């Protein structure tokens, strides 16, 4: 599981608001050269509370989500690299 920003269980305040926020689900897209990888993660407490059938359903859905996001990121990246080169 890869994370960005606040780690699971870490709280932060928003604009002086006293309400605490907890990251429960995240999706991270990483690029290494031409390779694009997409990962998702779930807060451990929430994962422990899910029934096996709920975990299976969530895993299937998030597999589709990460595939869509990764494919789109690759398309945008490819279009940006195909753009005209600038003159110095």
Residues recorded for the chain: 88
Per-residue pLDDT band for 50 (boundaries 50, 70, 90) equals very high
d(CA 59, CA 87): 47
Per-residue pLDDT band for 84 (boundaries 50, 70, 90) equals low
**Count of CA atoms in the C-beta half-sphere (13 A) of 75:** 6
d(CA 64, CA 19): 32
* Sign of CA pseudo-dihedral 70, 73, 79, 85: negative
d(CA 3, CA 9): 12
């Amino acid at each position: 599981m890869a994370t960005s920003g606040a780690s699971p269980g870490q709280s932060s305040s928003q604009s002086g608001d006293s309400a605490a926020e907890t990251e429960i689900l995240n999706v991270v897209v990483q690029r290494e050269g031409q390779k694009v990888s997409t990962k998702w993660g779930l807060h451990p407490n929430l994962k422990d509370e899910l029934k096996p059938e709920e975990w299976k359903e969530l895993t299937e859905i998030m597999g589709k989500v990460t595939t869509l996001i990764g494919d789109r990121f690759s398309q945008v990246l490819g279009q940006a690299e195909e753009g005209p080169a600038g003159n110095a």
